[in-house]
A and B are shown apart, each in its own frame.
Chain A
Amino acid sequence: MSPVLAIRDYTLDYLTQGGAVRALDAIDLDIATGEILGLVGESGSGKTSLAWAILRYLASNAREPKGSIQLAGEELVGMPVSRLGAIRGKRIGIVFQDPSTSLNPTLTLGTQLTEVLQRHRGLDAKAAEEAGAAMLARVGLHDPRAMMKRYPHEASGGEKQRVVIATAFACRPELIVFDEPTTALDVITARQILDLFAELQAQTRIASLYISHDLALVSRVASRVALLHKGRIVEQGDVRDVFARPRDSYTRRLVDAVPRAGSRLVHTQPSAETPMLELRGITVRYGRRSLIADLLRRPRAETIGSRDVSLDVKPGEIMGIVGESGSGKSTLARALTGLAAFEGEIRFLGRSVTSIRDMDDAYRRDVQIVFQNPDSSLNPRHRVREILSRPLLLHGDPAGRPLDQAIGESLREVQLGAEYADRYPHQLSGGEKQRIAIARAFASRPKLVICDEVTPSLDVSVQAAIIQLLVDLRGAPARARCSSATTSPSCARSRTASP
């Protein structure tokens, strides 16, 4: 049987000031009816460009020197825009990553569903309404009619993504491209959406291209997988084969980077010493009093960020704190570092801390934090040198080294060269910025380092490297411990000493 989508020797260049940059090189891909092909690649690999190429939504500086993309035998490359209108949505559908941004906030969910039904299936308003409601029921939304009247902000992430999926499937296209459809969702919802997708695809037998950076995730739904690295397909084949016998070195790195329960990076057991850090009954409240609310005698709208948390961390231990978004992990981190007022008691190295005022210089030196977003945790107007020198100037260097030397060694510890000292944050990549943030935290040899979701914004291979770095730094002379807050249970499992 001829494939639904056939890509042969496809090449894509972008024209930039520095010349032509090759984004895709000699791509060969097939997707047959009823098949799910997983396309795995990291940021910069070109997977997004490939999606645009298939949908024919390329930037104005894109050039296609050679290759062909055929949909059911029809050549898409070079097709005039006027004919593309008949293809988009009708024969090729797409589901985007973030339903919050891919739905129009000023139109109801129903309108955004029925408009494609009217356009592509020629239904009139009433029929489209009926068909729409039926489709929403099929994707598991109860009370479809009520949902159709809602606006995007009135629905949850999972509900919105179901609507988007319903819209894509409703027009019965020949191919649907899924661009990381679960990345923006929390773990539980992501799983539900993934199951929904698998079920719908099995029922409708629509050919699907599932794009993701997460090899583990893709392997759960796809039958075949293609790995994209720097614009080239480095490996392609049956999912189980690729996992069991990766042929390419890059593939092997990716497969190894997948965190697996039972595979651990840390093998030492914590000693049964007294805990270094004890939290007792930590509660954090947010909320503001509004004069009008007081006048109207409304109850004070108060949010509890953290409720009565108690835990222990022993010296040398890595404690993973896992929770959904909104469960209070970051709040806890902030309370510990004096960024949020809290109730309760912190006992650190035997000293009692009951409020921010109790956190003296010694505490500040010994308890450090690495933030989630390296773009905002480094001052854009400071050079790396200044960023790294602050903790040393503030708390002094325990090894008594001259400043430049200390900075150089800090950089080396995070596997960056000395030339990075003169750079500004905007000249660094996401992974490099996070390394600087980590170097800054470890610079004055703290006793406790809190890592607040430091990896999700990075690619999987970079994540693995960062985690390895943290593990290694732990072993450095001054024995730093790390407590990590994360939503990814797989990441935590590979490191936790206590569940």
Chain B
Amino acid sequence: MADLLRRLLRTPQGAIGVTIVICIALLVALGPLLAPYSPEGLAPLNLYKPPSAAFWLGTDQYGRDIFSRLLHGARATVVMAILATSFGTLAGALIGTSSAFIGGRVDEAVMRTIDAIMAVPTLLMALLIVSTLGKSSTNAVLAIAIASTPGMARITRSVALAVRKQDYVRAAIARGERASFIIWREMLPNVIAPIVVEWTIRIAFAVMVFATLSFLGLGAQPPAPEWGLMVAEARKFMHLSPWMILWPSLAIATVAIGFNLLGDGLRDALNPRT
């Protein structure tokens, strides 16, 4: 692990990415403790205030402290995105590896169907699922998880197939190794690395989709301090206070950039040949 960290810090993407993500992790873990105010604390005398000593990032239309809402919202936005991506990755990895392992007609049929499912863009799929299940954070998570499964399945399968063709796997088969050894000790360590990279980058995407769903009113519902929702609400009061829109937007973008950079950094760090 320490070795991985060192390799990550060697590239600018890895270094910046891991820094941002660690900060995010801290915010998610400690956010609510660090928040100076309650996210729902109304202060009717302090509406639309710009950043000040009392309210570091300003206040919103109900006088709630934006900074505190951001800190609480970190959990809502980031954790949800990670959960959704992780479910999608697990499901996808399972489908992809099994399909690659079984091979032949079944594999071909499964992959063609996956390609067909991917003809429905992620946001659209998420919208459809949410429209059916109802608007809430949980349903949004489920929707994103389901929507990202086919993509992960396809990537897992192609990686598994590429590894399967390597001579060291052939050497293991020729030696007479058991299938379980080949899958766990020969293939999996080489398959996991690209999957982890993809997982990280998809978290960035999930953050954006989750925020978009909330923005459209189909994800988290008021008065939740979810960042996308904050931007949606802030739109009506743009001319009164640009800060209400600025901070949550910046937060979303920073998280997405951080995970994207980390993904790129991991790609280099996990490459065994460098």
Provide the bound-state CA to CA distance between A334 and B186, in Å.
Answer: 19
Q: Which residues of B contact A359 (CB under 8 A)?
A: 176
Interface-side segment among A130-138, A255-263, A376-384: A376-384
Measured CB to CB, the closest approach of chain B to A62, in angstroms, equals: 22
Interface residue from A371, A395, A424, A426 paired with B171 (Cβ < 8 Å): A371
B166 contacts A by Cβ under 8 Å: yes
- Give chain A nearest CB distance to B192 CB in angstroms: 10
Q: A339-B170, A371-B167 are in contact. Are A381 and B272 (CB under 8 A)?
A: yes
Question: Quick check: B272 and A368 within 8 Å, CB to CB?
Answer: no
Q: For the complex, give the distance between the alpha carbons of A381 and B168 in Å.
A: 11
Are the C-beta atoms of A364 and B175 separated by less than 8 Å? Answer: yes
Known pairs A365-B176, A394-B176, A426-B272; A380 contacts B190 (CB<8 A): yes
Q: How large is the interface on A (under 10, 10 to 19, 20 to 34, 35 or more residues)?
A: 20 to 34
Question: With A424-B272, A426-B273 in contact, do A378 and B168 touch (Cβ < 8 Å)?
Answer: yes
B193 — nearest CB in chain A belongs to which residue?
Answer: A381
Set of chain A residues within 8 Å of B171, measured between Cβ atoms: 369, 371, 377, 437, 440
Quick check: is A390 within 8 A (CB to CB) of the other chain?
yes
Contact of B272 among A337, A373, A380 (CB under 8 A): A380
Q: Say yes or no: A337 contacts B174, CB within 8 Å.
A: yes
Interface residues of B in 119-172 (CB under 8 A from A): 166-168, 170-172
Roughly how many angstroms separate A288 CA and B25 CA in the complex, as a whole number?
A: 50
Docked complex Cα distance between A366 and B272 (Å): 32
Flag whether B173 is at the interface (Cβ < 8 A): yes
Task: Give A341 Cβ to nearest chain B Cβ, in Å.
Answer: 13
Within 8 A of B (CB), among A381-400: 381-382, 390-391, 394-395
A to B contact number (C-beta, < 8 Å): 56
| A338 interface residue (CB < 8 Å to B) | yes
- Which residues on the B side are within 8 Å of A338 (C-beta)? 173-174, 176
The distance in angstroms between the C-alpha atoms of A364 and B272, with both chains bound, is: 30
Q: Find the A residue at minimum CB distance from B108.
A: A291
Say whether A394 contacts B177, CB under 8 Å: yes
Given contacts A376-B166, A376-B167, A378-B168, contact A391 B175 (CB under 8 A): yes
Please provide the chain B residues from 167 to 221 with a CB less than 8 Å away from any CB of chain A in the complex.
Answer: 167-168, 170-177, 185-186, 189-190
> Which residues does chain B contribute within 8 Å of A390, judged by CB atoms?
172, 175, 177
A143 at the interface (CB under 8 A from B): no
Q: Look across to chain A and name the residue whose beta carbon is closest to the beta carbon of B188.
A: A381
**A407-B170 Cα distance, complex, nearest whole Å:** 22
List the 9 closest A-B pairs by CB distance, nearest first.
A364-B176, A377-B167, A380-B272, A337-B174, A379-B168, A376-B167, A381-B189, A371-B167, A426-B273
Partner-A contacts on B (CB < 8 A): 166-168, 170-177, 185-186, 189-190, 272-274
Q: List 12 A-B contacts (CB under 8 A).
A: A338-B173, A364-B174, A364-B176, A369-B174, A373-B167, A377-B168, A377-B171, A381-B190, A390-B172, A395-B176, A424-B272, A437-B171
